[in-house]
Amino acid sequence: MKPIAIALTGASGMPYALTLLQELVKSQEKIYVMISTAANTVIAMETELNLGSNTKVIEKNLTQYLGAKDGQIEVFSKNQ
């Protein structure tokens, strides 16, 4: 399987995005996630999930929340 890149913006619908990520985790995909500050805010508002503000913390929290394997999810900031 090829790795998949997902960009999360500030648009509404984060429960759908998290469901997609859960399905990708189940299929053993390597997932690269780009998440905007606005997306992080919308996730907190729509799901009460606080991912944090640092890319490594977001990566750790997403991995734990989605039940992913270590290294399966990699989070990038706008500066990377």
Tell me the mean pLDDT per 10 residues along the chain, length 80: 91 93 95 94 93 95 97 84
Q: What is the pTM of this model?
A: 0.88
How far is residue 49's CA from residue 58's CA, in Å, rounded to a whole number? 11
Contacts of 6 (CB under 8 A, 6+ apart): 17, 20, 21, 24, 31, 32, 33, 34
Terminal-residue alpha carbon distance, the chain: 24
pLDDT at 28: 92
CB 33 within 8 A of CB 19: no
78-to-8, 9, 75 alpha-carbon distances in Å: 12, 12, 10
